[in-house]
C-alpha cells in the first residue's frame, strides 16, 4: 500500500507555440478537488522540444512541482510521442491519477495511455464528488440533460477534464514549485505533422456584440433563420450566432459559431433559440450577462443556464414577440 | 479496399430522458436515429466508394434492436453489409467495452480503413475510435475534417480540427482509424433501391458473450439531473402573454429602447 505522501496525481500540461494553454490551470483546479477526497502530491508534467520557459512559468504560477521532459524530436503535440513517453513514466511511478484536457490532443493521448497501461479512462469530466465512500467523476450525457457519476476500479485512473468547467486555479502559496528536467531521445519513426490556421478568420462581429441572438438545431428549417435575424433586428448592437450544427450545414458562417471550437462570447444579453445546451456550446457563452432561452423541449439543458426560460416553439413565439414589440413601439 | 464504419443509434436531442428506478440508468427510449457524427463517417466512406467501385463498406454496431435499425439505414445509404455485435443488456456500455468488441472482430479481418464518428451525441465520450486504434496497434487521426487517400503511398492525408481554429495536417499509413467530425460532408439520404436491397440483406449477428478481452472496470454509480446555475424564471401564460412579459423584462433591463 502506498502512503498518502507517496500517492501522485499527474497533470499533463497543454501548450502551443510556447504558450501554456489556460486549460492547464483548469487541470490544476481539478487536481486540487481530487486531493480534497484523496490526499496525494500533485505534479505537472510538460513535454516539449524546449520546456524551460514554460516549466518555470507553471512552477511559479501554481506553486506545484514540475517534471519537464525535453524531446528534441517533438514537433507540435505529436500524440505518438506523448503516449510512448507517458507510458514509461506511468509504469515507473504508478500515479493514482493522470489528468489531461478533454481536447482532441488530450483525448487521443489519454485513450492511448489507458489501453497501454490498463488504467481506466473517464472522458469529459466536469465535477468530482463522493457517493458513499466511492469517488465519482461527473460528466454530461444525453445532450446535457443528465449527469452521470462514474467510478472506476483502477490502479491508475486517467481522466480528461472538460475545458471551462473547473475554473482557473489560484494558488494559496507564493512559493514556486521545483522543476526537474529530463532529456529523452525518441528514436521510433514519427508520423509527420503540420499545423496551420483555418482559412476563415475568427475576427467576428459576435465577439464585440452587446446582444447575441443565437440559433441551434431546434430552428428546424433553414427559412426560420430569417426569424432569428428579425429578432436580432430589434436590439441595438446585436449580432446573430449559432451552434456548430448550423455551421456544418452551411446555414451560418464559421465565424458565427459559438462554443468551445468556435468563438467564446460574453455579451450583455444572450438569446438562445432552439439550442439544446450541451457543454460544448455552454463553454462558449455561459459568461453572458443575461441569458434568455427559447426552446419547445422543456427538458433542454440550456434552461439550467438561463435567467429566463420560454418553453415555446420559436416558430410561433418569435413572431409573437416581434409583433408585440412593433405594437409597443408604435404606441 | 475494405472500409469499416462504426455506427450507433442515439435518441434525438428533444427526447425526454428520465432516470429509472435503479438511479444508475435511464428509462427505456423507443425512438432512435443514427448518431449524426456516424452519418458523416459513413458518407466519407461512401464518397470513396463513389470514386472506386471496388471499395467494400461494412458497417458495425454494438447493441440490440435499435442497432439493427441504424444498420438497415446504413445499408440503405449504400453500405454493402452490416454486422451487429449483440448485447442483451440495454444499459450503459462503456466506450472501452464497445471498442473492445469491435477490435476483437476486426482482428480477424483486413480492413484498410476504420471510420467512426468523432463521438456519440448521447454519451459524448469520443473514445471508441482512439481505443480501437490502440487495441489494434494502428495509427489514429481523430477529429478529422478532411481526408484524402494517397493510393501510391498507401497513406491517408488527413486534416484534424484542433483547438482555437487550428488545423493539424497528418499523413497516416494504412491500415488506420479515423474519427470523423461533423461538417466534413453532406450525408446522403437512403435511396429506394438501396432500401429494398437492405430489406433483403441479412445482418451478421455476433453474440457479445462469445467475445472476451481484458475489461477495465468502470461503471455509472448514479445519474442525476443537472442543477440550475441561474435563476431560470419560467414564463407562464399564453404565447402572447409570454411575449409581452419577456419584452417588459428586456426593456426594464434597457436592452431595447
What would you report as the CA-atom Rg of chain B, rounded to the nearest whole angstrom? 21
Beta bridge partner(s), residue B6: B60, B116
pLDDT above 70 coverage of chain A, percent: 98
Contacts of A154 in chain B (CB under 8 A): 216-218
Instruction: Please give the pLDDT value at position A202.
Output: 56
Residues of B with CB below 8 A from A112's CB?
A: 130, 134
Tens-digit pLDDT string for chain B (257 aa): 999 999 999 999 999 999 999 999 999 998 999 999 999 999 999 999 999 999 999 999 999 989 999 999 999 999 999 999 999 877 899 999 999 999 999 998 999 999 999 999 999 999 999 999 999 999 999 999 999 999 999 999 999 998 767 899 999 999 999 999 999 999 999 999 999 999 999 999 999 999 988 887 899 999 999 999 999 999 999 999 999 999 999 999 999 87
CB of A231 within 8 A of CB of A326?
A: no
Strands (E), A7-108: 8-12, 15-16, 19-20, 41-48, 65-71, 97-101
Query: Closest Cα partner for B148 from B182, B196, B113, B120?
Result: B113
Mean pLDDT of chain A: 93
Phi/psi of residue B182, each to 5°? -70, 160
CA distance A199 to B166: 9
Average pLDDT over residues A81-92: 96
pLDDT score, position B165: 76
Could you report the predicted ipTM of this complex, rounded to two decimals? 0.95
For B2-210, the fitting CATH number among 3.90.1170.40, 3.20.20.60, 3.30.70.260, 3.40.50.620 is 3.40.50.620
SS3 label, residue B201: coil
Q: Tell whether A297 lies on the interface with B, counting CB pairs under 8 A.
A: yes
Q: Which residue has the higher pLDDT, A104 or B91?
A: A104
The domains located in chain A, with CATH, are 4-184 (3.40.50.620), 205-330 (3.40.50.1220)
CA B79 to chain centre: 16
Integer Cα distance of A259 and B228 in angstroms: 20
Q: Dump pLDDT digits (tens) for A162-184.
A: 999 998 887 777 799 999 999 99
Phi, psi (5° rounding) for residue B218? -150, 130
Residue B177's pLDDT is what?
98
Residue A1: predicted pLDDT: 62
Residues 213-272 of A with CB under 8 A from B: 217-218, 234-236, 244-245, 247-249, 261, 268-269
- Shortest CA distance from A312: residue in chain B: B239
B116 chain-A contacts, CB cut-off 8 A: none
**pLDDT beyond 90 at A77:** no
String of DSSP letters for A188-200: S----EEEEE-SS
Q: Which of B135, B219, B233 shows the shortest C-beta gap to A309? A: B233
Q: Residue ranges per domain, chain B?
A: 2-210
pLDDT digits (tens, 9 = 90+) for A42-57: 999 999 999 999 999 9
| pLDDT at site B166 | 87
Contacts with A218 from chain B: Cβ below 8 Å: 14
With vertex at residue B46, the alpha carbon angle to CA B41 and CA B49, rounded to the nearest 5 degrees, is: 135
Residue B246, pLDDT score: 97
Phi-psi region of A265 (alpha: psi -120 to 50; beta: other; left: phi over 0): beta
Amino acid at each position: 500500500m502506498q502512503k498518502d505522501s507517496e500517492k501522485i496525481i499527474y497533470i499533463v500540461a497543454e501548450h502551443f507555440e510556447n504558450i501554456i494553454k489556460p486549460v492547464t490551470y483548469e487541470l490544476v483546479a481539478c487536481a486540487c478537488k481530487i486531493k480534497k477526497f484523496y490526499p496525494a502530491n500533485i505534479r505537472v508534467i510538460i513535454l516539449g522540444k524546449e520546456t524551460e520557459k514554460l516549466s518555470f512559468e507553471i512552477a511559479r504560477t501554481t506553486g506545484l512541482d514540475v517534471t519537464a521532459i525535453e524531446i528534441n524530436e517533438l514537433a507540435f503535440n505529436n500524440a505518438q510521442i506523448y503516449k510512448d513517453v507517458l507510458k514509461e513514466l506511468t509504469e515507473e511511478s504508478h500515479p493514482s491519477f493522470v489528468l489531461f484536457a478533454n481536447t482532441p490532443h488530450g483525448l487521443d493521448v489519454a485513450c492511448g495511455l489507458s489501453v497501454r497501461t490498463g488504467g481506466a479512462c473517464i472522458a469529459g469530466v466536469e465535477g468530482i464528488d463522493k457517493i458513499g465512500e466511492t469517488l465519482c467523476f461527473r460528466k454530461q450525457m444525453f445532450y446535457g440533460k443528465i449527469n452521470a457519476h462514474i467510478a472506476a476500479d483502477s490502479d491508475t485512473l486517467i481522466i480528461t477534464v472538460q475545458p471551462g468547467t473547473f475554473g482557473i486555479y489560484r494558488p494559496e502559496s507564493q512559493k514556486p514549485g521545483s522543476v526537474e528536467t529530463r532529456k529523452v531521445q525518441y528514436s521510433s519513426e514519427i508520423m509527420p505533422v503540420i499545423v496551420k490556421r483555418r482559412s476563415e478568420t475568427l475576427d467576428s462581429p459576435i465577439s464585440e456584440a452587446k446582444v447575441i441572438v443565437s440559433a441551434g438545431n431546434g430552428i428546424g428549417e433553414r427559412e426560420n433563420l430569417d426569424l432569428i435575424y428579425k429578432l436580432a433586428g430589434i436590439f441595438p448592437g446585436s449580432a446573430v450566432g449559432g451552434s456548430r450544427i448550423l455551421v456544418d450545414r452551411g446555414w451560418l458562417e464559421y465565424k458565427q459559431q459559438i462554443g468551445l471550437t468556435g468563438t467564446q462570447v460574453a455579451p450583455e444579453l444572450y438569446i438562445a433559440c432552439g439550442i439544446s445546451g450541451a457543454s460544448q456550446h455552454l463553454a462558449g457563452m455561459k459568461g453572458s450577462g443575461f441569458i434568455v432561452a427559447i426552446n419547445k423541449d422543456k427538458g433542454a439543458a440550456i434552461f439550467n443556464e438561463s435567467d429566463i426560460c420560454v418553453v415555446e416553439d420559436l416558430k410561433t413565439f418569435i413572431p409573437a414577440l416581434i409583433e408585440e414589440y412593433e405594437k409597443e413601439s408604435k404606441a | 479496399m475494405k472500409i469499416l464504419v462504426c455506427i450507433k443509434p442515439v435518441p434525438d436531442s428533444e427526447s425526454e430522458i428520465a432516470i429509472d428506478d435503479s438511479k444508475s440508468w435511464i428509462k427505456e427510449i423507443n425512438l432512435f436515429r443514427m448518431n449524426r457524427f456516424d452519418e458523416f463517417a459513413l458518407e466519407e466512406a461512401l464518397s470513396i466508394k463513389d470514386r472506386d467501385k471496388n471499395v467494400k463498406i461494412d458497417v458495425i454496431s454494438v447493441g440490440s434492436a435499435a442497432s439493427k435499425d441504424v444498420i438497415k439505414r446504413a445499408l440503405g445509404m449504400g453500405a454493402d453489409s452490416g454486422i451487429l455485435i449483440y448485447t442483451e443488456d440495454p444499459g450503459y456500455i462503456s466506450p472501452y467495452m464497445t471498442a473492445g468488441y469491435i477490435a476483437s472482430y476486426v482482428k480477424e479481418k483486413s480492413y484498410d480503413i476504420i471510420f467512426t464518428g468523432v463521438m456519440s451525441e448521447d454519451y459524448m465520450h469520443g473514445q471508441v475510435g482512439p481505443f480501437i486504434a490502440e487495441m489494434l496497434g494502428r495509427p489514429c487521426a481523430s477529429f478529422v475534417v478532411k481526408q484524402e487517400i494517397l493510393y501510391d503511398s498507401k497513406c491517408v492525408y488527413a486534416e484534424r480540427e484542433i483547438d482555437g481554429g487550428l488545423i493539424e495536417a497528418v499523413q497516416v499509413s494504412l491500415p488506420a482509424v479515423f474519427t470523423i467530425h461533423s461538417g466534413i460532408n453532406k450525408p446522403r439520404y437512403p435511396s429506394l433501391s438501396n432500401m429494398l436491397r437492405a430489406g433483403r440483406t441479412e445482418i451478421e449477428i455476433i453474440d457479445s458473450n462469445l467475445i472476451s478481452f481484458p475489461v477495465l472496470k468502470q461503471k455509472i454509480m448514479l445519474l442525476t439531473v443537472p442543477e440550475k446555475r441561474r435563476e431560470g424564471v419560467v414564463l407562464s401564460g399564453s404565447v402572447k402573454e409570454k411575449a409581452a412579459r419577456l419584452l417588459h423584462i428586456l426593456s426594464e433591463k434597457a436592452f431595447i429602447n
